[in-house]
Structure 1
Amino acid sequence: MKKAVCISTLSALALVLAGNSMAQESPWQIRLRADYLKPANKSDPIGGVGASDRLQVNNKTIPEIDISYFFTSNWVAELVLTYPQKQNVSLDGKNIGSFKHLPPTLTLQYHFLPQAQFSPYLGAGVSYTRISNVDLLNGAGSLDNSSWGLALQAGLDYKLDKNWLLNLDVKKLQIRSDVYAGGEKISRVQIDPWLIGMGVGYRF
């Protein structure tokens, strides 16, 4: 009888300690990633005449930092940040200028196996892109100042220990803008890039 009581007491103590450990786990996580940005490069015919998709934005690798907050072990909000990125624009393969964009993105994720070493997740949210430093057609061309769009996300965390992890992440963003020349709209571009990233994370 005493043995059974002792075992029960130790089991209860272990559950309490485990609960305290989980309660003390920080809800904050940060990741650093390198993302390969590949635009969809869809555009309307110039001036409504001729072929589509003549305007192109270059592919590039960009740095990314994201900050995550765990509401529960499954539901997570993630804010994705970088610094303004310069992109080159070409028309029929010839460079016609550049612009910068800053696309902070907020997603809500669901982590399917939060306690497993391999932890996959899906996310969806919104992206706001600020477009600046537009220099097209020797100053004759311009773009909209901003773009709102949807963001979709899928990823996988591989936990190295209780704090450190490796991450693979894929996002699809909506970034769109009208294109102007001489004050007149001449086309509309759908940059809509894929962002394919790998990086490292830390759970505080």
Structure 2
Amino acid sequence: MKAVSAAFALGLMAGAAVSAAHAQSSPWSLHAGVAHVRFSPTVDLSVAGQPVPDAGVRLDANRTAAVEIAYDLDTRWSLRMALGVPPTTTLRTAGSLSALVPPLTGKLGEVKYAPVVPSVTYRLLTEGPVRPYVGLGLNYMKVLATPDGDLAHMDVEDAWGTVLQAGFDVPLNPRWSIFLDARRMRIKTTATGTLTALGGLPVRGEVNLRPTVIFAGLGYRF
């Protein structure tokens, strides 16, 4: 009976060891949490084909739920793919455009967009209580809807951009961790529409969005 009990105990210990080893060696992991998006836009704007000096736009900051799936190529290099629940930002007048309020309301329109961010990261430390990483990648902005404001028939093009990334993981155990991640992006898109309050004059803007994204939450290794 004692031999059976000992064998059973050894079996449990072996199973636990295999489970722990699998948790440590699995190449797949997941980040999930909240992303805060803040824009620093600039715009080259023309109305009826004429440049508008000192024209500007402001975009409201967003918060949205996001996930990132990662696959470790080795102990330092990882491939990542981040996705977010599509947020909506409001475009507002700034610079010389603000002098046109009224007759404009100051709200040019809204943009609902879906971000997709593939990247490659490199871990600076593979052990220890804090494990920082850096990376670079691409950002694809899929425009889903553009409700009108002062700009009627507003259209914003889908766009690709570049991403610089830095963050760190703080392991809580072999599976769970907490993380903080920051990304600086460069995205250029084109927006068009007509200004109803100014007699339907056509508007075209080349917009550099330059968003900064702060992403924080829980990590899990499969």
Q: Shorter-chain TM-score: which interval?
A: 0.7 to 0.9
1:50 Cα deviation after fit:
2.2
Report the CA distance between 1:185 and its aligned residue: 5.3
* Higher mean C-alpha deviation, range 38-47 or range 20-29: 20-29
Cα shift at 1:112: 1.3
Which of 99, 119, 125 is 1:107 aligned to?
119
* The one of 119, 128, 132 aligned to 2:131: 119
Return the letter of the residue paired with 2:52: V
Match of residue 153 from structure 2:
140
Q: Tell me: CA distance 1:30–1:85, structure 2 relative to 1, closer, same or farther (3 Å).
A: same
Indicate the RMSD between aligned Cα atoms, in angstroms: 2.3
Contact kept, 8 Å, 2:121 with 2:135, in 1: the verdict is yes
Q: Is the 8 A contact 1:39 1:58 kept in 2?
A: yes
* Paired residue total: 185
Is the contact made by 1:178 and 1:185 (CA closer than 8 Å) also made in structure 2?
A: no
Decide which of 50, 54, 60 is 1:51's aligned counterpart.
54
Mark the runs of 5 or more structure 1 residues left unpaired by the alignment. 1-16
Q: What secondary structure, in the 3-state scheme, does the structure 2 residue paired with 1:135 have?
A: coil
- Taking the aligned partners of 1:61 and 1:170, their CA distance within structure 2 comes to 14
Give the conservation status (yes or no) of the 8 Å contact 2:41–2:57. yes
Whether the 8 Å CA contact 1:135–1:142 is kept in 2: the answer is: no
How many angstroms apart in 2 are the aligned matches of 1:150 and 1:71? 22
Letter of the 1:134 partner, please give it.
Answer: T
Cα separation, partners in 2 of 1:155 and 1:109, compared to 1, 3 Å: same
